[in-house]
Amino acid sequence: MIERELTVSNRLGLHARATAKLVQLLSAYRSTTTLTAKGREVNAKSIMGVMLLAAGQGTQVKLRVEGEDEDATAEAVCALFERRFDEDS
């Protein structure tokens, strides 16, 4: 299992488009992936799940990945967060 601390740094936070992008990215991977923020853990492959976090800019989230392709999954998610979901450009 891999755990990473991430920060939501794009201006709009984990809004619908960013969430859809995350979920679509994860659909290519097999690992079980969750995000935890504000004491709530959600399935990172579910749009409504991630939207439930209502995570605005600056929110700390914990990524947890478990499965055969967990390294690649964690790397892809971290890269997406670091790229600010390709927003703010």
Partner 1 sequence: MSVGILLITHEGIGSAILAVATRLLRTLPLRTEVLEVPFEGDPDALLPLASAALRRVDGGQGVLVLTDLYGATPSNLAAKVARLGTPVRRVSALSLPMLLRVMNYAEEDLDELPMVAGAGARNGVIVDEA
For the annotated catalytic residues, the residue numbers are 15
Among 32, 36, 46, 59, which residue interacts with partner 1 (rule: CB under 8 A)? 46
Joined together, the tokens standing for residue 66 give 């478990």
Among 1, 28, 54, 79, which residue interacts with partner 1 (rule: CB under 8 A)? 54
Cα gap 89→15, rounded to integer Å = 16
Determine phi and psi for 8, rounding to 5 degrees: -75, 110
Count of residues engaged in binding partner 1, rule: CB under 8 A: 12
- Least separation in angstroms between CB 24 and partner 1: 7
Q: Find the binding residues for partner 1 in span 12-41 (CB under 8 A).
A: 16-17, 20, 23-24, 27
Query: Biggest alpha carbon distance in the chain?
Result: 34
Instruction: Give Cβ neighbours of residue 62 (< 8 Å, ≥ 6 apart).
Output: 3, 4, 5, 6, 35, 36, 37
**Sites of contact with partner 1 (CB under 8 A):** 16-17, 20, 23-24, 27, 45-48, 52, 54
